[in-house]
Chains A and B, each alone.
Chain A
Amino acid sequence: MHTEDHSLLNALRGDEGAIIDAWMQEASSKDARQRAQALEILKLLRDALASGSDTNRLESPEWDGLRSALTELSSSRAAQGQSASDTNVFVLALKKPLFAAVSEKGGDAAALWTMSRTVDKLAQHTVTTFQEARENIIRRQQEELLELSTPVVKLWEGVLAVPMIGVLDSSRTQMVMEALLQKIVETGSELAIIDITGVPTVDTLVAQHLLKTVSAIRLMGADCIISGIRPQIAQTIVHLGIDLQGVSTKATLADALALALQRTGWRVTRAV
């Protein structure tokens, strides 16, 4: 064990309560849970040092306990929606009390440097895992969004509708297409209405995706109406020179349903 590590350990063996108090004050936190977390981190750090672990090699297995405690800290904070810098500041706030403790025990510059570097490494690890936790959350939300955004609803006997919401990319189109075609087979519907009111922009790529879906529907032996085309989108489609290949288009879902009913031979009249 290096002598610097030893003096850091000596400092940690001192007044634990005082270090925690100073840490909490530095991090301007009064939360009991954070205090418990801080206590846990300090204890693990001390234990790891006591077992002779090298502060130069924080990635080695002896530091597993401390690293997993920091990972837990950052992922719980990520789930609470706190920022990476807040979490970082919390860990870095340990530096000042440790500095005081090490110099009190007569630690030299080398000991202080080791302490500083160790805390920095801990903070860095926290930020890295924080980011990973955040990315996991984002990825999960993306998947959920993808599944949420493809409901196929039955509007009438033999008429299905898909309200498309959000940007249409290849994977979204693929999911919508599969869900819709499957539903067409299940229900034996002859007409599908694709409502693009919730699609913010229509460019050539989106149009191509739409046309692919329409072609697949036609191959199955059903037909398709595209509704929810806003005036701006109609202009864009014409300006871009997109040929919708004889697909029926309507401004609103209501118009599309009226057309669908007409095609399937229904007539809706007022009772009075």
Chain B
Amino acid sequence: MDRIPILRMGKTLLVTIQVDMQDQTALTLQDDLANEIAKTGANGVMIDISAMEIVDSFVGRMLSSISGIAGILSATTVVVGMQPAVAITLVELGLSLEGVRTALNVERGIALLDRAREEAQIGS
């Protein structure tokens, strides 16, 4: 079974999805990611979906729930590199991924996570 690797970069966890997601892969990823955040104490999660050309409603919901789970574990999630066709599909499916932060590319995603960290520091 495919397992999507989770890379750790300092306080950020990086997930690059380069295969078409099966439902089971998505559930495993969600599980792994929750464990990994808890273990490493990461405060940022970046999910790169630029290689994904097909996103169904299940994967869409998975992205939402990862964001929610990470939020509870006090980590900010940012989804980067969504393809136009994928964005249109999700909108047509009625999924606007409320609460999920998005960025155009990895660079912007890192900037967004940095900003979120600063805000959190000011807040605390």
- Residues on A lying within 8 angstroms of B by beta carbon are 174, 177-178, 181-182, 184-185, 188-190, 212, 215-222
Contact = CB atoms under 8 A, between A and B. Distances in A.
Majority SS at the chain A contact face: helix
Contact of B102 (A178, A189, A219): A219
Interface of B: 78-84, 86-88, 90-92, 96-97, 102-105, 108-109
A216 B97 CA distance: 10
16 contacts: A184-B104, A185-B83, A188-B105, A188-B108, A190-B108, A212-B91, A216-B90, A218-B96, A219-B96, A219-B97, A220-B84, A220-B102, A221-B103, A221-B105, A221-B108, A222-B104
Given A188-B108, A219-B91, 11 more contacts: A174-B88, A185-B104, A212-B91, A212-B92, A216-B87, A218-B102, A219-B82, A219-B86, A219-B96, A220-B84, A221-B79
Contact of B88 (A188, A189, A216, A221): A216
A222 B82 CA distance: 11
A246 to B, nearest CB: 11
B104 A220 contact: yes
Contacts of B78: 221
B80 A215 contact: no
B104 A219 contact: no
Contact of B104 (A177, A178, A188, A216): A188
B55 to A, nearest CB: 10
Contacts of A217: 87
The 5 closest A-B pairs by CB, nearest first: A181-B84, A221-B102, A221-B103, A219-B87, A216-B87
A181 B87 contact: yes
Contacts of A188: 104-105, 108
Nearest to B90: A219
Given A215-B91, A216-B91, A219-B102, A185 B108 contact: no
B87 A220 contact: yes
B80 A221 contact: yes
Contacts of A220: 82, 84, 87, 102, 104
Contacts of B102: 218-221
Contacts of B108: 188, 190, 221
A6 B17 CA distance: 81
